């Protein structure tokens, strides 16, 4: 299992549009065979900050996800909404109940 945590900081005027685009992406992403989980979190004390937690079943699954139309649509839509470039951290699972 490969887990990717993506950190996103959006401009305040784009919060609602970012949420809508991200929910569309997440809804389609969880239907992909290589995705075990796709969580979207919004920070309580700073609503301009989001975290996406993506759990993939194989090393090839992230590339397959990035080749989907819904990912491309999300990427292109949200890039101009960001206050700074998004960044990610990759993890290996230690305990990941299914």
- CATH value at residue 35: 3.30.70.100
Q: Is the residue at 98 inside a domain?
A: no
Q: Assess if residue 97 is contained within a domain.
A: no
pLDDT of residue 58: 94
- Predicted confidence band at 11 (pLDDT cuts at 50, 70, 90)? very high
Domain membership of residue 34 (yes or no) is: yes
- 62 lies in some domain: yes
Tally of structural domains, the chain: 1
How far apart CA 51 and CA 26 sit, in angstroms, is: 12
In a domain, 83, yes or no: yes
How many C-beta neighbours within 10 Å does residue 17 have?
15
Range of the domain at 40: 2-92
Average pLDDT over the chain, rounded to an integer: 96
Q: What is the pLDDT of residue 95?
A: 86
Above 80 in pLDDT, residue 44? yes
Residue 82, in any domain of the structure: yes
Q: Is residue 25 situated within a structural domain?
A: yes
Residue whose C-alpha is closest to residue 41's, from 62, 29, 26, 58: 26
Contacts of 46 (CB under 8 A, 6+ apart): none
Residue 94 Cα to chain centre, angstroms: 21
């Amino acid at each position: 299992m490969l887990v990717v945590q993506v950190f996103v900081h959006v401009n305040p005027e784009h919060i609602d549009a970012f949420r809508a685009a991200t929910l569309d992406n997440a809804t389609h992403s969880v239907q992909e065979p290589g995705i075990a989980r796709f969580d979207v979190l919004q920070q309580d004390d700073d609503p301009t900050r989001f975290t996406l937690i993506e759990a993939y079943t194989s090393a090839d699954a992230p590339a397959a996800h990035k080749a989907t139309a819904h990912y491309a649509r999300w990427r292109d839509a949200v890039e101009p909404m960001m206050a700074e470039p998004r960044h990610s951290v990759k993890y290996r699972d230690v305990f990941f109940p299914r």
